[in-house]
Amino acid sequence: MSSTDPLFDTDFMREMLRQTRAIDAYGIHDGQPPEALLAPFVLSRADRAAIPLLGDPDARVLARVKVFYNAIAVLIEKECGCMAVPLVHLSAEGFGRVLITVGKLVVLDRALRDVHRFGFDSFSKMKTEADKQLAVALELVGRHAEVAGL
- Options 1.10.1240.10, 1.10.3100.20, 1.50.10.20, 2.40.240.20; which CATH number does 6-148 get? 1.10.3100.20
What's the mean pLDDT in 84-96? 92
Mean pLDDT of the chain: 92
Residue 2 has a pLDDT of 55
Residue 100 has a pLDDT of 98
pTM over 0.85: yes
Is 130 a residue whose pLDDT tops 90?
A: yes
Position with higher pLDDT, 44 vs 74: 74
Residue 149 has a pLDDT of 84
Residue 93 has a pLDDT of 86
pLDDT tens per residue, range 16-67: 999 999 998 888 888 899 999 999 999 998 888 888 877 788 889 999 999 9
The Cα 74–Cα 115 span in angstroms is 22
**Residue 98 identity (one-letter amino acid):** V
Residue 3 has a pLDDT of 66
